[in-house]
Amino acid sequence: ETGVTQSPTHLIKTRGQQVTLRCSSQSGHNTVSWYQQALGQGPQFIFQYYREEENGRGNFPPRFSGLQFPNYSSELNVNALELDDSALYLCASSLEQATYEQYFGPGTRLTVT
Amino acid sequence: AQSVTQLGSHVSVSEGALVLLRCNYSSSVPPYLFWYVQYPNQGLQLLLKYTSAATLVKGINGFEAEFKKSETSFHLTKPSAHMSDAAEYFCAVRNQGGKLIFGQGTELSVKP
């Protein structure tokens, strides 16, 4: 059984560009949540996908968007990158949307210059 | 709305000493509470969770936490610190629908 994986590990982008981050959920998990962790802060909830539908969104602008695929893997897209988007982006998967345990991937470190 | 406050952004203990990391929560409904650990350049690992069963919860690596409703607290403890415990610790509450709300984190340093 493989855990949650994310790609790429690190990424450097320029302000105004667009970026796509990828997440493969743990085997059998149909729910993926994305979090942004700025340096020195706790993770903040971006949105959650359950069975390919968005299932809740945190306080993030529309330029943060996502997808979930039939195999339950997921993408996070960020358009018009800003310097403040520099952060560690964490993906977490769970068996169902309301189960207790979320399993986190290692994260993607995004730097916007 | 639910929230979590971690008291102390940095805690330093000597190896073998008691570890106490503080977490207070705010929730209008019975909370589900979690402690996660994050080692440098890694994701989050679940240490333990409270889901309205026993108020004293035991987790991995010798950690435990006690849910105290009257104090709205869920402090994390370990009787004897080990060098490998040095990491960032996050307390979190789960809101309706399964989204996690995290505290700011507490960095634990362990001195030899």
pLDDT along chain A (113 residues), means of 10: 89 98 93 94 94 92 96 96 97 79 93 98
Using beta carbons and an 8 Å cutoff, which residues of B are at the interface with A?
Answer: 32, 36, 41-46, 49, 51, 90, 92, 94, 97-105
Q: Is B85 helix (H, G, I), strand (E, B) or coil?
A: helix
Identify which of B98, B25, B9 has the alpha carbon closest to the alpha carbon of residue A47.
B98
Cβ-contact B111, B15 below 8 angstroms: yes
Contact residues, chain A, for B51 at CB < 8 Å: 100
Bridge-based pairing state of the strands B106-111 and B10-14:
parallel
Find, in chain A, the residue whose alpha carbon is nearest to that of B6.
A42
Residue A95: its pLDDT value, please? 85
Residue A97: its pLDDT value, please? 63
Contact residues, chain A, for B43 at CB < 8 Å: 4, 90, 104-107
Cβ-contact A52, A70 below 8 angstroms: yes
Q: What is the DSSP letter of B17?
A: S
Q: How far apart are CA A49 and CA A55, in angstroms?
A: 5
Identify which of A74, A69, A110, A68 has the alpha carbon closest to the alpha carbon of residue A89.
A110
**Residues in chain B where the model's pLDDT stays below 50:** none
Find, in chain B, the residue whose alpha carbon is nearest to that of A33.
B99
Q: How far apart are CA A6 and CA A18, in angstroms?
A: 18
